[in-house]
Amino acid sequence: MKWIKKLFGKKEDSSEERGLKEINFKDLPSWLDAVSQKISSRVEKDVSGLVKELEVSLLALKESNSRLAEAKVEGDFDIRAVKRAKSNRENVTKQVATLTDKIRVQDSMEHLHRALIPAWNI
C-alpha cells in the first residue's frame, strides 16, 4: 500500500525540509562568505587528492616515455620494418614529451579558489 502512495502521491516539500532558509539582504555577504569557505575547503580536499594522482601519473608517463626511447630492437626483423618502427617510436616519444612538458601541476591552491569561487562584490 505504501508503494502505491509513493507512486501516485505528490509529497510537497517545505523549504525547511529541503534545507532552505530565508536570509536578510544585509546578512547576505557574511552568509556567502561562510558558504564559499565551506565549498572551498571541500574542493581543496578533493583537488589535493587529484593533484597527487596527476603528479604520480605524470611521473609514470615520463618514465615510460624514456624507457620507450631507450628500447632496443631484439630479434630478426626486416630492416624496413625496423626503420619504420624506430621512426614511429621517435614521433610518439616526441609527442608524449611535448604533452608532459605542457602539463603543469600548480602547488598553490589559490588559483583554484579564484577560478571556482568568484569574489562577492555586494
Rounded distance, CA 2 to CA 8, Å? 10
pLDDT band at 35 (very low <50, low <70, confident <90, very high): confident
Residues sharing a CB contact under 8 Å with residue 117, sequence separation 6 or more, in sequence order = 36, 39, 40
Q: What letter represents residue 107's amino acid? A: D
For residue 26, give the DSSP letter.
Answer: G
Indicate yes or no: pTM above 0.75: no
Rounded distance, CA 93 to CA 12, Å? 60
> What are the domain boundaries of the chain?
24-116
Handedness of CA 44, 49, 50, 51 (dihedral sign): positive
Task: Tell me the pLDDT tens digit for each residue of 41-53.
Answer: 888 888 888 888 8
